[in-house]
Structure 1
Amino acid sequence: MRYELTDLRLFLAIAEAQNLSAGAAAVHITASAASYRLKNLEQAMHTPLFVRAARGMELTPAGETLLAHVRELFVNIERMHGEVGRFSAGLKGHIRLLANSSSLNGFVTRAVSRFLIANPDINIELEERASHTVLPSIVAQEADVGICAGTVESADMRVLRYAVDELVVVTPPGHALAGPDPIRFVAALDCDFVSINRSTSNFQFLRETAQRAGKHPNVRLHAHDFDAVLSLVADGVGVALVPRSVASEALARGSIAAARLDEPWARRELQLIAPPADRLPGFTETFIQFLVNDPRVVATRGDVLSACG
């Protein structure tokens, strides 16, 4: 079985254009040369790849199967060129990480900072994503590692338990909601809120959860980050729904208080998603183990609620 990468690139172009001449033009060869290369590819595969129909070139079942593999092949080739090309810029590694807002602000950013300091030859591209988009993005190879909240099942990806957190309603000290007994979330919805910006998964969760309770949260201000939200709460502007991990330092200082929530969704299981180790560069696997074994997240994987009290 002998064929060239050019043959596969031509096959992809014809499949996408559903036309031999258009496919040939896309890879800058003549139609006659394209016809010759396609015939050789079909002979190498021992099966027809297209049916010549009135509407143009239609894939056979074998062609459909080949198309899926060829698309994945070229994605991997582009990724290979990008990663190898970084060596010319003096970089030895590049990792793309997606994380939902709770994990990003509560755990991930600090761990990434320590990893980068310890590994000066590695760069990390970090992006916030809503939890439900993380697994599909890793499967589609848009990123190398993902962290999200909730239950995740995948036959192709590793799913590692990362951390356990809880959502709480933070309030100014002495607020009526802040007491020893957990509250239902609907009780907080009568209060004014502050939140981070509208595009974040944290605000989207606040809005959707309130809507399920038949309410609309009165958000007085959308701040640029959680630190600003906590400062506004401390000043008495409103209350906020945040992960306890984000609020832990302010709670320890006493600048804010917290109301535990008697809601099943308040406990947040955070999962790390990644391809199998044999499909990743060694430095990416090292990064994954660094995240999973970070003492701060390891400490949460017991009974986080009793530990945080």
Structure 2
Amino acid sequence: MRYELTDLRLFMAIAQAKNLSTGAAAVHITPSSASYRLKNLEQALGTPMFVRNARGMELTPAGESVLAHVRELFEGVERMHEDVGRFTLGLKGHVRLTANSSALNGFINPSLGRFLVLNPYVDADIEERQSEAIPAAVLAREADIGIFAGATDVAGLDVYRYAVDQLVVAVPADHPLASESEIKFGAVLDFDFVCMSRSSSNYLFLRDMAQKAGRQVRVRLHTHSFEAVLSFVAMGVGVALVPRSVIASLPGTAGIAMLALVEPWAVRELNLAVRADARLPTFTTAFMQFLLDDPRVAATRGA
């Protein structure tokens, strides 16, 4: 069998993206070169790794098996680099984190920025996903650390209480609901919404909660960030469902009223998970502890 680590890294990138061109871009090679390398890898292993269909490139059963081994292999390579790096000063490595949009924007990003400044030889890959998908992604080695809302029944994880957040309704200051201090979710659904992008975990959660209530979200605008969402709310475009932590992290919310949402799911318990059997490199463990020890985050756990 003749193949290189580059071939395996490419294979992993294509499996993650479910697209050859996107996977090729992730490892900085051309699509034609990626196609050639993938063909050689499949010939070396003696079986197809992917099935091409309308959804993109789906792994075959053999591909799923190879992917698990490849992820484990690169974890070993990462540990090897870390062991060598101990002969120099500071932490070195690459950490992968996946989280929902509320955790990313309300808590993680400020902690991440400070950690990277303090550790200039550590790189990070951050991905947003819906909370329900995150524990399985960590177990499948698609991320080193996952942060998600609610509990999980996925076995094989070590789970730590990370933060407590609350979803609130943001409305323009002159909106008919602005005088209310709290409100039921069903009453908010009578109005137009300003939402995060269609792929955002915040929007997908809002859509799912509305469907469970037998309603549809009246979306007037999808935009790219919570800051943009609140800006459009202040202009009177619509109302929004936003995490209280995000509001606290933004420079100002003039022209906006915040309403407590009287729903049990509005209080969001955020958990941090890693694989129970993972031999985490020192830099990953240090990053995890940095996230948990952030004073602003830790303070919410006692709220």
Closer/same/farther in 2, CA of residues 155 and 251 from structure 1, 3 Å limit? same
Q: Choose from 26, 35, 44 the match for 1:26.
A: 44
> Is residue 272 of structure 1 aligned with residue 272 of structure 2?
yes
Does structure 1 conserve the Cα–Cα contact (< 8 Å) formed by 2:136 and 2:154? no
Query: Residues of 1 paired with 2:92 and 2:103: CA distance?
Result: 27
Task: Please report the TM-score for the alignment, with normalisation by the length of structure 2.
Answer: 0.72
Does structure 1 conserve the Cα–Cα contact (< 8 Å) formed by 2:97 and 2:124? yes
After TM superposition, list the pairs within 5 Å mapping 1:247-262 onto structure 2: 247-249=247-249, 253-262=253-262
Query: Residues of 1 paired with 2:114 and 2:251: CA distance?
Result: 24
> Is residue 106 of structure 1 aligned with residue 106 of structure 2?
yes
User: Aligned with 1:260: secondary structure?
Assistant: strand
- Aligned position for 1:20: none
- Aligned position for 1:159: 159
Query: Residues of 2 paired with 1:280 and 1:83: CA distance?
Result: 8
Gaps of 5+ in 2: 1-41, 47-63
- Aligned position for 2:11: none
Which whole-Å deviations, capped at 9, do the CAs of 1:251-287 have from their partners, x for residues lacking one? 9653311110110110000000012486101111111
Task: Please report the TM-score for the alignment, with normalisation by the length of structure 1.
Answer: 0.71
Q: CA deviation at 1:181?
A: 3.4
Closer/same/farther in 2, CA of residues 277 and 77 from structure 1, 3 Å limit? closer
> Is residue 115 of structure 1 aligned with residue 96 of structure 2?
no
- Aligned position for 2:74: 78
- Aligned position for 2:59: none
Closer/same/farther in 2, CA of residues 69 and 202 from structure 1, 3 Å limit? closer
User: Aligned with 1:241: secondary structure?
Assistant: strand
- Aligned position for 1:190: 190
Query: Residues of 2 paired with 1:83 and 1:239: CA distance?
Result: 47
Query: Residues of 2 paired with 1:263 and 1:158: CA distance?
Result: 29
How many residues end up aligned between the 2 structures? 242
Gaps of 5+ in 1: 1-23, 29-67, 304-309
Closer/same/farther in 2, CA of residues 71 and 102 from structure 1, 3 Å limit? closer
Does structure 1 conserve the Cα–Cα contact (< 8 Å) formed by 2:81 and 2:93? no
Query: Residues of 2 paired with 1:251 and 1:75: CA distance?
Result: 40
- Aligned position for 1:134: 134
Does structure 1 conserve the Cα–Cα contact (< 8 Å) formed by 2:156 and 2:277? no
Which whole-Å deviations, capped at 9, do the CAs of 1:93-132 have from their partners, x for residues lacking one? 1000001011011111111001000110100100001111
Query: Residues of 1 paired with 2:67 and 2:216: CA distance?
Result: 45
Does structure 1 conserve the Cα–Cα contact (< 8 Å) formed by 2:106 and 2:249? no
Query: Residues of 1 paired with 2:191 and 2:44: CA distance?
Result: 60
Q: CA deviation at 1:233?
A: 0.5
- Aligned position for 2:30: none
- Aligned position for 2:288: 288
Share of identical aligned residues, percent? 49
Which whole-Å deviations, capped at 9, do the CAs of 1:162-208 have from their partners, x for residues lacking one? 00001111011243323453210111111111001101111111112
Query: Residues of 1 paired with 2:293 and 2:268: CA distance?
Result: 18
User: Aligned with 2:285: secondary structure?
Assistant: helix
Does structure 2 conserve the Cα–Cα contact (< 8 Å) formed by 1:251 and 1:258? no
Which whole-Å deviations, capped at 9, do the CAs of 1:221-257 have from their partners, x for residues lacking one? 1011111001000111110001111112559653311
Query: Residues of 1 paired with 2:45 and 2:275: CA distance?
Result: 32
Which whole-Å deviations, capped at 9, do the CAs of 1:63-99 have from their partners, x for residues lacking one? xxxxx999755432233336657989x9921000001
Greater alpha carbon shift after TM alignment, 72-81 vs 254-263: 72-81
